[in-house]
Amino acid sequence: MSAFLLMAFNEFGGGKENMANHKPDDCLLVIFGASGDLVKRKLIPALFALFQQKLLPEHFAILGAARTQMTDADFRAEMADAVRDFSEHKPRDDAEMEAFTRLLHYHPLRDYVEAWRRDEVSEFAHLKAQIEAIAASEGLGANYIFYLATPAKVFGDVAEGLGAHGLQNQDHGWRRIIVEKPFGEDLDSARKLNQRLLAIFEEDQIYRIDHYLGKETVQNLLVFRFANGIFEPVWNRQYIDHVEVTAAETIGVEERGAFYEGTGALRDMVQSHLLQIAAMVAMEQPESFEAQTVRNQSLEVFQHLRHYGPDEIAASVVRGQYMASKIRGQDVKGYREEDKVGPDSRTDTYVALRVFIDNERWGGVPFYIRAGKRLPTRATEAVIYFKPGAQHLFGIDNPLRAKSDTLILRIQPDEGIVLKFQMKAPGPGFDLQDVQMDFHYSDLTDVHLPSAYERLVVDAMLGSPMLYARGDVIESCWEFITPILDAWRDDPKIGLYGYPAGTWGPPEADDLLARDGATWRYPCKNLAERGGTCVL
């Protein structure tokens, strides 16, 4: 393990020790959409992990609300199964599982959409009564978090239902609302949703979740840059040739064809996750690590993104769609053969962009961003390519043969950081060979690596919004993305390129880099030779 990378980890103070520095206030967590897949697979396992580590408030309860008709006992049994099925940290015994499920309560709602308008005594009036009853019986005070794990189309309706009954008021305790993605489907819808939320809640009460920002390596990116004096002086256009941000998935759309038809890779991955990662790479040093200053710096990055003109989109953005193929001898359906997908669908399952940030630090440095489904391996990473040194001294006169020092920040899986550079090969002469210094979080066997949802839930309880997206940041991202969506909709001449499932996307995406004399990095290119294990 690299000593300087371990120093960066220790500087950040990651893991349980850092999260336990402050105990959250007593509170009630109300989860809308509590019978859904996200809650079972991510949120409840994260809450159980926090329970195991004694990181939850001293007095705490969870109230699930959804349209599914269940009793408290039904909900507790279902969430216990979710912990056993999806949690990395299994219950030590039945007593521990029972102690956790005693925190759980349930309230059935007939309908979210305008539910608070339907009756003289509305659904939300009954919900408010149960919230107050649980808070009183469990000694929780009046601190409430409302977590919207519902379909995006009802975010505004749920917020208005809460507002109609004063559940946003902070007269006797704090109130916060966590909003899952997608936050809008274009600039106009994002602005309208922001307006609806801000009509009820203050900005500092609204936590717009992006679970990528909760990943350890994304956060450590800031520490790596700003805590280590050897990197920040070369973190600019004078020394960096280009930057690459990749999110590759091996899976297709699974059973989410109907959802994905209205979304696509550009909306689903680039607008939120990958632009946020790019901002972490590109931002200026904040004056402090307080939420507002860090989020102001990310906003600055988005405000300096070079927007495409209508005639530039086809040359700077490539969209693709996976086709039927064989992967390891197994037949794999193409996207248009997936359930609830149209036979002539033009939805993007792959997208690659050539992006520029027009400011003093990054002017002229291309950022290449790509995301895709049915690619050869699962990997999310940011890669910084430094400009090659004086390699002509060692007989390398062709710029295309010159290798650059490379910094790889792996976000998932096998989170870690690798610095690749060149050294002299043993023996006579000055032949060069690649070597690397690496750090993997998995090497820290004595440190618990929190999941993104563990960290984000605790941060919301603590009132720390740094890892959540602010409304103006989201709108700024949509300002960049929406013209691309409009061009795809309105200009049939812009291509949609097929790529066989299990490959690295359409060849046209390679041209984005080829014009600059660069090529994509292929994580785990020789995956089969490594027995299927993906390593940095």
- Residues noted as catalytic: 273
In 336-365, which positions are buried (b, 16+ CB within 10 angstroms) versus exposed (e)?
bebeebeeebebbbbbbbbbbbeeebbeeb
∠ CA(506), CA(510), CA(516), 5° rounding?
160
Residue 278: both structure tokens together? 């790019």
Q: Are 156 and 150 in contact (CB under 8 A)?
A: no
> What stretch of H or E contains 458?
helix 452-462
∠ CA(338), CA(340), CA(342), 5° rounding?
80
Query: How do 175-179 and 206-208 pair as beta strands?
Result: parallel
Residue 446: both structure tokens together? 């004595």
Q: Are 29 and 64 in contact (CB under 8 A)?
A: no
Q: Are 193 and 156 in contact (CB under 8 A)?
A: yes
Q: What is the C-alpha R_g of the chain?
A: 24
Q: Which has the closest alpha carbon to 320: 275, 357, 361, 353? A: 353
Rounded CA-CA distance 325/498 in Å is 11
**Is residue 502 exposed (0-12), middle (13-18) or buried (19+ Cβ within 10 Å)?**
middle
Residue 388: both structure tokens together? 């090659």
SS3 489: helix
Crossing angle, helix 187-198 and helix 471-490, to 10 degrees?
Answer: 150
Q: Are 349 and 323 in contact (CB under 8 A)?
A: no
Altogether, the residues listed in the chain come to a count of: 536
Rounded CA-CA distance 485/319 in Å is 11
Rounded CA-CA distance 420/423 in Å is 10
SS3 441: helix
